[in-house]
Amino acid sequence: MAYPHAVHAEESATGDTRSVPVELAPSYRSSLDADAISPEKVSQFVRAYLQVVSLIEQREGELQSTETDPESFRVQQEIEAEALGLIADEGLTLQEYMQLLSLANIDPEFGDRIALQLQEATD
């Protein structure tokens, strides 16, 4: 699972800064129609995304301090399992989550929709 922990800040011509997720898992490239995605699905994705990012930030130090490959792998698997639980708790499957993440990166209008909700959720 690719971790969606990278966040890209863009500055518009008006000077406002917004964050959009930028990491993709190529196998989840989306064929979704952004207009067909319900506001509830978008909200579920935003909540899950913020929780996954928080989880990764909380466990990043632990992962970086691992001294052996098996230890690193174990921590990565723990993080993945916890992230999958967070995603499921918001009512999304991993495939839905990854498709929405991908779509946010390839469809500028949908990316703006996600960025706006991310900004509102963190204000």
- For residue 10, pLDDT over 90 is answered with no
Residue 120 structure tokens: 């509102």
The pLDDT tens digits of the residues spanning 77-121 come to 999 999 999 999 999 999 999 999 999 999 999 999 999 999 999
pTM of the predicted structure, to 2 decimals:
0.73
Q: Given pLDDT bands bounded at 50, 70 and 90, which one contains residue 31? A: low
Sign of CA dihedral 83, 87, 90, 91: negative
